[in-house]
Amino acid sequence: MSELLTLSGVETHIGRYHILHGVELGVPEGQTTMLLGRNGAGKTTTLRTIMGLWRASGGEIRFGGERIDALSTPAIARAGIGYVPETMAVFSDLTVKENLVLAAREGEMDQTRLDWIFGFFPPLRKFWLSRAGTLSGGQKQMLSFARSLIEPRRLLLIDEPTKGLAPAIIGALIDCLKEVKRRGATILLVEQNFRVAQAIGDTVGVMDNGRVVHAGTMAELVADEAMQQRLLGLSLDTHQ
Amino acid sequence: MSAQGTDGDTDAGAALPKTPRDYLPLLLPVALALAALPFVPSTSTWVTLTIAGLAMGMMIFVMASGLTLIFGLMDVLNFGHGAFIAIGAYMATLVLIPLAAWMQADSVWLNLAAVVPAVLFAMAVTGALGLAFERIVIMPVYGQHLKQILITMGGMIVAEQMLYAFFGPQQIPLPLPTSLRGSFQFGEAAIEKYRVVCVLVGLAVFLAMLAILNRSKIGLLIRAGVENTEMVEALGYRITRLFVGVFMAGSALAGLGGVMWALYREQVNAAMGGELLVLVFIVVIIGGLGSVTGCFIGALLVALATNYAGFLVPKLALVTDILLMVAVLLWRPRGLYPVTSR
Ligand SMILES: Nc1ncnc2c1ncn2[C@@H]1O[C@H](COP(=O)(O)OP(=O)(O)OP(=O)(O)O)[C@@H](O)[C@H]1O
Ligand SMILES: [Mg+2]
């Protein structure tokens, strides 16, 4: 299985803090890779470094074989990476429609694709002309997802999408991700909810203190409770 | 909340609810004008004062609109904005003084043939200087507010001194063209023609900006960038291009405002930029940093209040802007229409 995205020895400094200490991570093409780890482990920093929002001060990031660690954020996005940040970052002064118009940077929105998205997230159709700032948290997450899906991207980076959301919405997000993967996209998903990770993860990387401390298949981690306990400890609530 | 569409109201035929907008601030200038009515001795005086206030407000809006976008989008405190106001005015004199004969001619066409090129020249020069200023002075200090304040204030002082050096310390008279002199008579009330022109120009700039911001993709990008530049970049757009474009447009608008103001005062001097900058900053703060509509309302409020107060309680006129700003911020601490998260 070839890797679509590879991080080798990635170092990231934020101001005078050294946050990532040589991150090694491979994301196999066409699969869903889970990035797990306790709070403050460096998951968000890893995704932001891939997007070029923080600069890697060492190491290499390859996407489809090409180095992207020296590219600007817009260039990285245009290489085919969609990003759903931890904060969702919907443009609250813009309507749902306007948010998606911007996300569709190649031109007009494709109606078939839009209908496909509405299928997972009906509220987006309902609130099409409402300002995104007035949406509920779950609806904002749907919009943030929709922005990354309105045009096909090779890789999606998604940061803790289920945080604070009701089970019904989490279900919709999972259905959506499964379908996106089935259509051929590769996904790198940060997730604290082990149930979700278990439901859609193929491979997994576990981070701690700015390093990837374990990498393997999801099935292997699911089967080995001792390993779960050791790697994820109490930060994880398996009974969620 | 229940986000799952469990019922039929999500089908295409269903009504699409639009968010109610916040219209309250729009009523403020109207309320202010009506509140002043009983205190002014005659209706005709009130009409004159109101039109004068509107004209002044429109000019300040034209100057301030660029600054609010620059602040909102780039998070830059540009104290150099006043320099573009003064430079715009001086550039207009370069065209208008040689064409004085056309300005004084009794023909609308000859007047226009002088004024239009003067305005275009002023805007072209201030726009180009804006480009240079952004690339050379501002770019190294993005994200560093203290340095921005120091370096843009420095830029302002340098520009002012250069104007003194090139044009001399004296005021340069800039008479209005013949066809814009005098006033229309509406019953008792006399309305100066030039004030009407200012109102029309200001409205045109405002409507054009709204159209661009709401209808074009560039406009959407600007509004999105005011809120979150990182996400705009993560969607694949180069924010630096947007910055340069907005900075140039904002500087050119300051230049336009400077020409309008110079013709209103019928004179130009190098200190005008610094004087107007205070007013412009107050307007931007009242409006809510980054909001064009807020800036528009703020400019009208400040100008109307200044005109009414100047007539009714002249002693208060000096502090009306500050009082108004305090009042607005007590009501809405982040301005009339806060758009940035900063
Ligand atoms: N802007 C910043 N400035 C300074 N330190 C930061 C900044 N952002 C993150 N950090 C630090 O970097 C470390 C990793 O943070 P990061 O947000 O990547 O963790 P995370 O794994 O995403 O955690 P969570 O599960 O809470 O989202 C933390 O110690 C955090 O305090
Ligand atoms: Mg995080």
Tell me, using a 6 A CB cutoff, whether residue A14 lines ligand 1: yes
A199: Cβ–Cβ under 8 A, 6 or more apart, which residues? A174
Instruction: Give the model confidence (pLDDT) of A165-214 as tens digits.
Output: 999 899 999 999 999 999 999 999 999 888 899 999 999 999 999 999 99
Which candidate, B199, B196, B218, B197, places its Cα nearest to that of B207? B199
Distance B59 CA to ligand 2 centre (A): 47
In a domain, A44, yes or no: yes
Output the pLDDT for position B80.
93
Q: Which residues contact B254 (CB under 8 A, 6 or more apart)?
A: B63, B66, B67, B81, B82, B84, B85, B88, B126
Residues A159 and A228 reside in one and the same domain: yes
Ligand 1 proximity of A43 Cβ (cutoff 6 Å)? yes
A86 in a domain, yes or no?
A: no
Domain with A144, as residue range(s), is: 91-152
Which pTM was predicted? 0.85
Cβ atoms within 10 Å, residue B41:
9
A33 with A124, same domain?
Answer: no
Q: Clarify whether residues A73 and A159 are in a common domain.
A: yes
Q: What values do phi and psi take at B217, rounded to 5?
A: -65, -35
- Residue A16 Cβ inside 6 Å of ligand 1? The answer reads no
Q: Under a CB-based contact definition with an 8 Å cutoff, are residues B127 and B74 in contact?
A: no
Ligand 1 pocket residue status of A36, Cβ below 6 Å: no
- In ligand 1, which atom is closest to the CA atom of A38? 25
Task: Give the model's pLDDT for residue B4.
Answer: 39
Q: Which residue of B has its CA nearest to A92?
A: B227
Residues A9 and A74 in one domain: yes
Could you tell me whether strands A155-159 and A81-84 are parallel, antiparallel, or unpaired per DSSP bridges?
parallel
Q: What does the pLDDT look like over B221-254, one tens digit per residue?
A: 999 988 899 999 999 999 888 889 999 999 999 9
Q: Does residue A118 surpass a pLDDT of 50?
A: yes
Same domain, residue pair A95 and A163: no
Domains in chain A: how many in total? 2
Q: Is A17 in the pocket of ligand 1 (CB under 6 A)?
A: yes
Residue A53 placed within a domain? yes
Taking the centre of ligand 1 as the mean of its atom positions, its distance from the CA of residue A40, in whole angstroms, is 5
How far is B87 from B247, CA to CA, in rounded Å? 16
Would the CB atoms of B1 and A139 count as touching at under 8 Å?
yes
Contact between chains at A105 and B5 (C-beta distance less than 8 A): no
Residue B57: pLDDT band (50, 70, 90) is: very high
CB B72 within 8 A of CB B291: yes
Question: Which residues on A lie below 8 Å from B232 (Cβ)?
Answer: 102
Q: How confident is the model at residue A96 (pLDDT cuts 50, 70, 90)?
A: very high
CATH no. for residue A24? 3.40.50.300
One domain for residues A57 and A36: yes
Residues 27-46 of A with CB under 8 A from B: none
| Claim to verify: residue A178 and residue A198 sit in the same structural domain | yes
Residue A185, in any domain of the structure = yes
How would residue B135 be classed by pLDDT, with cut points 50, 70 and 90? Answer: very high
Q: List the single best residue of A48, A93, A139 to mutate versus B (max B Cβ within 10 A).
A: A93
Overall average pLDDT of the B171-198 stretch: 90
Find out whether the beta carbon of A162 lies less than 6 Å from any atom of ligand 1.
no
Given a cut of 50, whether residue A219 has pLDDT beyond it is yes
Q: What is the pLDDT of residue A120?
A: 95
**Domain contains A85:** no
Name the nearest CA neighbour of A212 among A67, A48, A79, A25.
A25
Average pLDDT over residues A56-77: 96
Percentage, residues of chain A above pLDDT 70: 97
Residue of the nearest CA to atom 6 in ligand 1?
A14
Q: Does residue B14 carry a pLDDT above 60?
A: no
DSSP-assigned states of every residue in B46-102: HHHHHHHHHHHHHHHHHHHHHHHHHHHHH----TTHHHHHHHHHHHHHHHHTTTHHH
The DSSP letter of residue A36 is E
Q: What does DSSP assign to residue B158?
A: H
Helices B292-312 and B24-36 sit at what angle, rounded to 10 degrees? Answer: 10
Token readout for B303 is 């100008």
Residue A89 has pLDDT above 90, yes or no: yes
Whether residue A143 is found in the same domain as residue A226:
no
When pLDDT is cut at 50, 70 and 90, the band that residue B318 belongs to is: confident
Nearest-CA distance from B242 to chain A in Å? 13
Residue among B18, B220, B230 whose CB faces A102 most closely: B220
Q: Taking 90 as the threshold, does the pLDDT of residue B73 lie above it?
A: no
A65 lies in the same domain as A13: yes
Q: Per the CB < 8 Å rule, is B14 touching A126?
A: yes
How distant, in Å, are the alpha carbons of A7, B254, B284 from that of B67? Answer: 42, 8, 7
A211-217 and A203-208 as β-strands: parallel, antiparallel, unpaired? antiparallel
Residue with the two structure tokens 């208008």: B96
In a domain, A63, yes or no: yes
Residue that terminates a domain, selected from A127, A152, A177: A152
- Kindly state if the Cβ of A12 falls inside 6 Å of ligand 1: no
Q: Same domain for A161 and A177?
A: yes
Contact B238 A72 (CB under 8 A): yes
Contact A159, A84 (CB under 8 A): yes
In a domain, A146, yes or no: yes
Nearest-angstrom CA–CA distance, A146 and A103: 9
**What pLDDT sits at residue B340?**
58
Say yes or no to pLDDT of B186 above 70.
Answer: yes
Examine the domain organization and report whether A74 and A186 are in the same domain.
yes
For residue A107, the model assigns a pLDDT of 81
Percent of chain B with pLDDT strictly greater than 70? 93
Which one-letter DSSP state was computed for residue B106? Answer: S
- pLDDT of the residue at A50: 97
CB < 8 Å to B217, chain A:
101-102
In chain B the first and final C-alpha atoms are separated, in Å, by 28
Domain boundary among A116, A132, A152: A152
Is the residue at A129 inside a domain? Answer: yes
Query: Sorting pLDDT into bands at 50, 70 and 90, what band is B15?
Result: very low
Euclidean distance between CA atoms B178 and B184, whole angstroms: 14
- Domain boundary residue among A136, A152, A168? A152
Per-residue pLDDT at A226: 85
Per the prediction, chain B carries an average pLDDT of 89
Please give the full DSSP string across B160-211, using - where no structure is assigned.
HHHHHHHH-SSPEE-PPPGGG-SEEEETTEEEEHHHHHHHHHHHHHHHHHHH
On the question of pLDDT at B341 being above 80, the answer is no
Confidence of residue B9 (pLDDT cuts 50, 70, 90): very low
Mean pLDDT, residues B267-272 taken together: 91
A171 interaction partners in chain B (CB closer than 8 Å) = 4
Chain B residues lying within 8 Å of A95, measured CB to CB: 19
ipTM of the complex: 0.92
Do A175 and A106 lie in one domain? The reply is no
Burial of B7 by CB count in 10 Å (0-12 exposed, 13-18 middle, 19+ buried)?
Answer: exposed
pLDDT recorded at residue A210: 95
**Residue B200 exposure: Cα atoms within 13 Å on the Cβ side:** 5
